[in-house]
Amino acid sequence: MCGSGAATCFATRQTLDNERRQPMNESRQWFYLVALAAGGYLLYLLAPVLTPFVTAALLAYLGDPLVDWLEGHGLSRTLAVVTVFVLLLLLLAALPLLLLPALEAQVGKLVEALPRYLDWIQLHVVPWLGATLGIDLPSLDWNTFEQAIQTHWRKAGGVAASLVQTVSQSGMALMGWLANLVLIPVVAFYLLRDWDILMANIRGLLPRRLEPTVVALARESDEVLGAFLRGQLMVMLSLATVYSLGLMWLGLDLGLLLGSLAGLVSFVPYLGFILGIVLAGVAAVMQFHDVIHLVYVLIVFAVGQTLESVLFT
């Protein structure tokens, strides 16, 4: 029909097709955007219900490589899952039982030593700020502040008692907490046992045309994300151990508390290092009243950073 103007006719048809396709593409983009927003809002509404399942899926995801390794060494899938599950439960149960009493004792020491710290601030820090920086702090009733903290700590009865008291204030909150406590291990166990089957079924739902690309991207993301999560967790625990042992070796009363805090917040680059040096340095100066222990604190954190750069990462 176009005759000698075939090229012009083809270009015109191509332009018309593009014009028809453009509104469809824009409509599809808006549809995806609205669907994404609706899905995000639905997840927000269902967050209290989905939280235990997401937690269980994360535990299963982290434990699957170890299960695969045990399965490759002759254990059945179920026995490998039971072994990993028991080890994980023992670890999760042992950490609070071992750390919470020690951390609670150190917080108690902090409360007991608070009068000495406040006196030191009043005698040294406040005059230094006034003489050096011209900062005139208002007069504070340190005794009232100190008594309020000590009274609150005695009434709370410690960290564990305060936690139990808070949880038990609401019957529904207690029931929800107990339900999650039971639900998370059960869901994690079955997800861990059937993880490979679940992944295979999800793969089977993919369109054949997109399957190779999606599987390749998912495998690459799994390698990067899995290595990051497991590696970051090991780095945090390793740094917390190094910092805590180093500060306790120096004789710092709050060594375990400050070292654990510095290690656990180290997932933010340099935050644990800086926060640990500041808090441990202030605690060392207040406890020992000399500069040499401040230098020792710097050495402890320098060793931790060196080990992180050379060994842990």
pLDDT in tens, 227-281: 888 788 888 989 999 999 999 998 888 888 888 889 988 888 888 889 899 888 8
Q: What pLDDT shows up at residue 9?
A: 55
Q: What are the extents of the domains in the chain? A: 1-45, 208-313
pLDDT less than 50: residues of the chain:
10, 16, 159
Q: What ranges in 123-210 are assigned the alpha helix state H?
A: 126-128, 142-156, 159-168, 171-193, 195-204
pTM of the full predicted structure? 0.60
- Taking alpha carbons only, the member of 217, 256, 295 closest to residue 100 is 256
Q: What pLDDT shows up at residue 296?
A: 92
Buried b (16+ CB within 10 A) or exposed e, 142-170: eeeebeeeeeebeeeebbeeeeeeeeeee
Residue with tokens 């059960």: 186
Q: What pLDDT shows up at residue 74?
A: 86
User: Do 250 and 284 meet the contact criterion of CB atoms below 8 Å apart?
Assistant: yes
Q: What pLDDT shows up at residue 218?
A: 85
Q: What pLDDT shows up at residue 180?
A: 74
The token pair at 36 is 């994404």
E strand or H helix at 232: helix 211-249
- Taking alpha carbons only, the member of 240, 245, 258 closest to residue 312 is 240
Q: What pLDDT shows up at residue 165?
A: 56
**What are the Cα distances from residue 245, in Å, to 234, 241, 296, 297?**
16, 6, 13, 12
Residue 207 DSSP class: -
Q: What pLDDT shows up at residue 147?
A: 62
Q: What pLDDT shows up at residue 154?
A: 56
